[in-house]
């Protein structure tokens, strides 16, 4: 007995396909840990320099917010009117120039004690590589 080509393609193959689908396990719907992470793709930004040239810029940052957790901080959004102030080596060099001085109005006297000492160094270390506080005196 010979099968007709029309019967094979119109009846037998679809029936075999349905049988295989019904017998196969639905593994895509079971097991494993489901995680939906929150993330966005923003432009970033920063400072690039070489020789006498310095470029400060951003491509776009639509998430305007400040977040922190543990020892991490995240500042998002558009840059506030110029380069972002980060407590860095330049600030430390200025702080070191004023180390152990006494008097009023010293920019490195962060705790207001009238002395540039270890109390100020502790406050400086807490701010290291973070955004400068408002009115940062070491700039």
CATH assignment of 85-139? 1.10.1330
pLDDT band at 95 (very low <50, low <70, confident <90, very high): very high
- Across the chain, what does the average pLDDT equal? 75
Q: Residue 133: its pLDDT value, please?
A: 85
Residues 47-78: tens digit of each pLDDT? 778 888 877 766 655 555 666 777 776 666 65
Q: Are 102 and 108 a contacting pair, CB within 8 Å? A: no
Percent of the chain with pLDDT over 70: 57
Query: In this structure, are residues 136 and 124 in contact, taking their beta carbons and an 8 Å threshold?
Result: no
Q: Whole-prediction pTM value?
A: 0.43
- Which range of 37-51, 52-66, 79-93 scores highest in mean pLDDT? It is 79-93
* Alpha carbon distance 86, 55 (integer Å): 16
Using CA atoms, how far residue 137 sits from 26, 27, 81, 85, in Å, is: 64, 61, 18, 12
pLDDT, one tens digit per residue, over 105-123 is: 999 999 999 999 999 999 9
- Alpha carbons within 13 A on the beta-carbon side of 126: 9
pLDDT band at residue 82 under the 50/70/90 scheme: very low
Dihedral sign computed on CA atoms, order 84, 73, 40, 62? negative
Confidence of residue 3 (pLDDT cuts 50, 70, 90): low
């Amino acid at each position: 007995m010979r099968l007709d080509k029309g019967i094979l393609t119109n009846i037998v193959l679809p029936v075999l396909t349905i049988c295989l689908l019904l017998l196969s396990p639905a593994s895509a719907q079971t097991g494993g840990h489901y995680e939906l992470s929150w993330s966005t793709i923003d432009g970033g930004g920063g400072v690039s320099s070489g020789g006498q040239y310095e470029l400060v810029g951003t491509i776009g940052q639509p998430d305007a917010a400040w977040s922190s957790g543990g020892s991490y901080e995240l500042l998002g959004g558009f840059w506030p009117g110029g380069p972002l102030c980060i407590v860095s080596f330049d600030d430390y060099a200025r702080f070191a120039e004023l180390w152990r001085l006494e008097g009023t109005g010293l920019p490195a006297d962060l705790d207001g004690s009238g002395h540039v000492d270890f109390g100020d160094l502790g406050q400086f270390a807490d701010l290291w590589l973070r955004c400068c506080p408002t009115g940062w005196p070491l700039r």
